[in-house]
Structure 1
Amino acid sequence: MWKLLAGYGGMVSVGLQVFIGAGGYSLFVLSAYGGLNPFLAVPLAAILPALLAAPSYLLLRKLDGPYFAIGTWVLAEVFRLVADNISVVNAGSGMTLRAMGSSPPTSAGWASPSCAHCFSFVTVGGAFLILRSRLGLAMMAMRHDPVSAASQGVNVGRIRFGIFMVAALGTGLAGAIYYMAQLRISPSSDPYRSSICIFIVMVGGIGCLEGPIVGALLYFFATRLFGHYGVSYMVVLGLLTLIILFSPGGLWGLFSKFRDWPWFPVGHKLEYTTPHSSS
C-alpha cells in the first residue's frame, strides 16, 4: 500500500499508522460492543479507515512532497491524541480482544495466519491486475511526470484520491488482522509502522511489485536473526538501508541488472518491426 502511495501517487506518507490503528480499533469495538466474531468483523473493520481517509485527503491534497509527509504525520498524531481521550475505547489504557478467549486455541492459531495469507494474495493480485489495466498505464504515466500525464487527459487528482483510499482500506484491513493476532491495542501501540513500511519498500524496490515482497522477507529474517539482541537489530536495519545508495531501485533493481526475470510483468514494451520489401 505504501508503494502505491509513494511509487505511483507521488504521496510519501509517514502517517499510515492512523489507518492501521483505525482498522484494529474497529475490530475490537465490533467484537466488544457488537458481539461479532472477530474473524467475521475483519472485512467490516475497513469502514472506519475509509471514513477517515476521505476527509483526510481533502485536507492534505494541496500539500506536496515533504509537506505532504509532514501533514500525514501530524494527522496521525491528532488521531492518536483523540483515541487517547475516548472512554469508549478505554482511552490510553487500550482494549483487549476478549472474544478470542472463547475460541479454541487450534482455531485461533490457524485463523490469523490464514487471514494474513489470503489478504496478501488479494492485495498483490489486485495490484497486479490494476497495473496491467488502462488505469495502471495512467498511474505509470503519472508516476513519471504528473504534469505531462494531466496534459494527455489523465485525471491526476482523481487517481491520487483513489490510491489514497485504496491504501487506507488496505492498511486498515492489515491492522485488523495484525491486532487480532496481538489480542490487545492501545493508542501508543507500534507508532513506527510507517517506518517499517518505508524500509521494506525502499530496500526491496519501490518501482515494482516484487520489491515490497523481497523487502518484507528481508525484514522478517533480519528481525528473527537479530531481534534477540535487543534494539541493536535496528542498527542492522539501518545498515541495510545503505543498499539504496548503490542501487536506487533496491534489491530487486540490483537483481534486475543481472537478470531480467520479473515475477509480475506489469510493464509494456514496444516492438518495432521492419516492413518487408516488396519483390
Structure 2
Amino acid sequence: MAPKTDFPPVRACLFDMDGLLLDTEDLYTLCVNLILEKYQRPQLPWSVKAKLQGRPGPAATKLFHDWANLPITQDEYVSELLVLQAKHFPTTQPLPGVPDLLAHLGRTRYWDLKKKDGAQRVHIALATSSHEANFRLKTAHLPELFSVFPTARRVLGDDSRIARGRGKPLPDIFLLALKTINDSLPAGETPITPEECLVFEDSVPGVEAGRRAGMRVVWCPHPMLKKEFTGREDEVLAGRTGEAGDVDLHQLGEVGDGWAEYLPTLEGFPYERYGIVVPPVEVEAEEGMVEGGKVGEGEVVQVVETA
C-alpha cells in the first residue's frame, strides 16, 4: 500500500524506558544468565528474550520460567533475581543519543513563550512496564536525565489505572500516557490526538502497543533483537507479529503504511520529518524553561522484572 505522508506535526512523544532510554537490556540478560549458569541451564537466547521484552514483570516471569525449566520454584527464582537486579540496576546509563533527544524536546517549551510559525511545544511522557521500585533502582542516579518527565506524566508498570493483564502489547499504557498529557495541558491548548503522538520503543510488543493505540512509532531495538527479526521488519513496524495473540486485525497497522520507522540509534534524530522545531540551546536560560520534577527519594521496595 502507499504510505501515508500527510501526518500532522508531532505534539507529544511517549517513551518506553528499558532498552530505549537506558542500557538495561544487557543488564537483564546478565542477571538472568547468572542464574541459568548456576543451575547448569543454557544461556538466554534472543529468540526467547524477544518475547519477554516490554511485557509487565509477572507475564515475562511466567514466559521465562516455562522456557527455563529451572530446578527451583518460580518464587525462588524471583528471589535470586531480585538480589542480582538490586546490584546491577543502579549502574544503568543512557543509550546513545538519548540525553540530546530529551534535552531538545524539553527545550521546545520555549515556543510557549516565543510564538513562531510552524513551531510548537512537544509534550513528553514516560510509558514503561517497569514497576516503581525498579524504576527507582534504574533512575535514582540519573535525576537530571529524567527531570524532563513531570511526575504526573510518568506511567509505570504497576500504575493502578492500568487494569491487570492489560500491559504491552495492548495499547492501554500509551493511551494513559497521552491522557496524563491532555489532563495537564495549559488552559486553551487543544487536546492532543493519538495521530499527533510519536511512540519510542525498542521492543516488538511495545511497537504493537503503540500501533494499536493509533500512534506513530519509532522502533529502535537492540542490535541482537533487530537480527532476530531480520526479514520481518515490516511486520514489526505494522504491529503484525502476533505478540498479542488473536486480535482484531483492524486494530493493527498495515505493512508499509508509513506510520512507523526503524532507526538503529536515536543519535541525530530527524526532527524535521516529524514536524518538530527545536529551539537553539541559548534559549534554555530564558524565563519559564524549567519544568518537571526529579526522581523522588525514598525507600526502595523491590519488584521483580525479567525483561
Give the TM-score normalised by structure 1: 0.25
Higher strand share: 2
TM-score by length of 2: 0.23
Which of the pair has the greater relative contact order for Cα pairs under 8 Å at 6+ separation? 2
Higher Cα radius of gyration: 1
